[in-house]
Amino acid sequence: MQSENSSVNTEAKKIQTSKVPPSEGFREAFLLHLADTTLILTQRNGAWCGHGPILEQDIAITNITLDLIGQSRNFYQYAAKLINESSLAPSPVEKAGDEATEDSLAYLRTEREFKNLLLVEQENGDWAQTIVRQFLFSVYQYFLFEQLQNSKDDQLAAIAAKSLKEVTYHVSWSADWVIRLGDGTDESNERMQKAIAALWPYTGEMFMQADYEQGIISEIHLLKDRWIEKVKTVFEEATLAIPENIFMQSGGKNGVHTEKLGHILAEMQYLQRTNLGAKW
Amino acid sequence: MKISIQKYYYGDFGGEEKASGEEIKKTTEETAWPLWEIFIRSKQGLDHKHAGSLHAADAAMAMQNARDVYTRRQEGVSLWVVESKYIHASNPDEAGEMYEPAVDKVYRHPTFYEIPDEVGHM
């Protein structure tokens, strides 16, 4: 999972020995978790641009991806505001030499600092795998934002309410494809079942509460019940089976990732890290 | 003695029929999703207008594709999709007898009275 080089260990130590009491940075951490998750899925889905199976679906997946980067920016901007207002001084601020911005948070944080879900960093694979990843994630996001739109934090509630409309469409689009491919030909069904087997171990993490989610997501078990109910309904219609007794991977929420994230960040952050502040 | 002559063209590996592209055209027609015509109502009170066409496997997918391809810049509030094969068009060759007789009948235009502003779009 985590490569054992020295710089990574220093990062890890820095997080652990932070003088800030943990609860103080909870809201910032939660926002970064939301922002990182949507950003990494954006980066993954973005690779389909110009390569979609047909023109219309190329546009569809790119549209969804644009929604996701919009959400991600909202979360980063809000997180940056809170970080600058608080006494917290996370590493991007030190590195960039001035205030945290949406860009410094996206481009100058390391693998251990990224709090995205493991599910979204998994490979695109074939169209089936991309569809399954999008569906499992969008259904989760739907029920999550449904809760968050009632948050006491007005700004977070507003972002969630706005995003919920977008996500509603993502769910309907991806569910439609799950049914088409699952209930399609022998080959499409087989590919879908393979994609589900590959991604299912990364779904458990969505419902394992991280420290910083306490007090913000009040009923994570409810989230899980609703998620599994929706997934079951769609899978049944698609004649797809849900894997049973699978060991669930976790760690993404706390910065412990699969080996894939390092490669994503290397590609995504390269330009900003070699030419700090570069614009286009 | 039987002599058969085969003509070869540049890049040609399968006789004249293959080289003409007929075969490729046939397989595309067989495998491609049907074509759909898309109509968009840009705001309440206006008519649906033809926006273009796209490929989709069925009506539901055509609707989704239309949403993604044609309404991403706030172009519309309502969509119609019609499979292109169900649209029957007039023949351009008959344009003369079809439309030209109307040219000199200006009295058929409703331009001789004023429409009150309250009527709005007509």
Residues of B in contact with A59 (CB under 8 A): 65, 68-69, 72
Q: What average pLDDT score do residues A255-277 get?
A: 94
Whether residues B56 and A180 touch (CB distance < 8 A) is answered with no
Could you identify the residue written with the tokens 């608080």? A86
Model confidence at A277: pLDDT above 50: yes
Query: CB count, 10 Å around CB of A279?
Result: 5
d(CA A130, CA A127): 5
Could you identify the residue written with the tokens 């649209």? B87
Handedness of CA A77, A82, A86, A90 (dihedral sign): negative
With bands split at pLDDT 50, 70 and 90, how would you rate the model's confidence at B120?
confident
**Cβ contact A114:A265 at 8 Å:** yes
The domains found in chain B, sorted by start residue, are 29-116 (3.10.20.520)
Residues of B in contact with A60 (CB under 8 A): 64-65, 68
Whether residues B55 and A176 touch (CB distance < 8 A) is answered with no
Residues of A in contact with B67 (CB under 8 A): 169
Chain B within 8 Å of A131 (Cβ-Cβ)?
no
Whether residues A54 and B33 touch (CB distance < 8 A) is answered with yes
- Give the closest residue to A12 by CA, choosing from A94, A99, A86, A114: A114
| Separation in Å, CA of B55 to nearest CA in chain A | 7
**pLDDT at position B6, please?**
60
ipTM of predicted assembly, 2 dp: 0.71
Amino acid letter, A129: Q
- Closest-approach residue (CA) in chain A for B33: A54
Residues of A in contact with B60 (CB under 8 A): 176
Helix (H) / strand (E) containing B88: none
Q: What average pLDDT score do residues B75-97 get?
A: 91
Q: List all residues 6 or more positions away from A30 whose beta carbon is below 8 Å from its beta carbon.
A: A212, A213, A216
With bands split at pLDDT 50, 70 and 90, how would you rate the model's confidence at B25?
low
Whether residues A60 and B68 touch (CB distance < 8 A) is answered with yes
Model confidence at A1: pLDDT above 60: no
Whether residues A59 and B57 touch (CB distance < 8 A) is answered with no
CA dihedral A14, A17, A21, A27 (to 10 degrees): 30
**pLDDT at position B17, please?**
55
Work out the widest C-alpha separation in chain A, in whole angstroms.
58
With bands split at pLDDT 50, 70 and 90, how would you rate the model's confidence at B1?
low
**pLDDT at position A13, please?**
39
**pLDDT at position A180, please?**
96
Digit-coded pLDDT (tens) for A6-62? 444 444 434 333 334 446 789 999 999 999 999 999 999 999 999 999 999 999 999
**pLDDT at position B101, please?**
86
Q: What average pLDDT score do residues B18-28 get?
A: 56
**If you average pLDDT over each of B3-7, B10-14, B26-30, B80-84, which comes out highest?**
B80-84
With bands split at pLDDT 50, 70 and 90, how would you rate the model's confidence at B13?
low
Q: List all residues 6 or more positions away from B17 whose beta carbon is below 8 Å from its beta carbon.
A: B23
Q: Which of A56, A59, A63 sits opposite B56 (nearest CB)?
A: A56
Whether residues B57 and A180 touch (CB distance < 8 A) is answered with yes
The domains found in chain A, sorted by start residue, are 23-274 (1.20.1260.10)
Q: Are strands B35-41 and B78-83 parallel, antiparallel or unpaired?
A: antiparallel
Whether residues B68 and A54 touch (CB distance < 8 A) is answered with no
**Cβ contact B47:B120 at 8 Å:** no
Residue B57 tokens read as: 């496997």
What does residue A40 show for φ and ψ, rounded to 5 degrees?
-70, -40
With bands split at pLDDT 50, 70 and 90, how would you rate the model's confidence at A4?
very low
Digit-coded pLDDT (tens) for A171-215? 999 999 999 999 999 999 999 999 999 999 999 999 999 999 988
**pLDDT at position B18, please?**
55
Digit-coded pLDDT (tens) for A137-175? 999 999 999 999 999 999 999 999 999 999 999 999 999
Chain A within 8 Å of B69 (Cβ-Cβ)?
yes
Measure CA of the first residue to CA of the last residue in chain A; give whole Å: 35
**Cβ contact A17:A94 at 8 Å:** no
Whether residues B64 and A55 touch (CB distance < 8 A) is answered with no
- Considering only residues 214 to 273 of chain A, which have any Cβ-Cβ distance to chain B shorter than 8 Å? none
**Cβ contact B63:B81 at 8 Å:** yes
- Considering only residues 14 to 73 of chain A, which have any Cβ-Cβ distance to chain B shorter than 8 Å? 54-57, 59-60, 63
Amino acid letter, B39: F
Digit-coded pLDDT (tens) for A89-139? 555 544 455 789 999 999 999 999 999 999 999 999 999 999 999 999 999
Q: Which of B60, B61, B68 sits opposite A63 (nearest CB)?
A: B68
Cβ-in-10-Å burial (0-12, 13-18, 19+) of A17 comes to: exposed
Digit-coded pLDDT (tens) for B32-76? 899 999 999 998 889 999 999 999 999 999 999 999 999 988 889
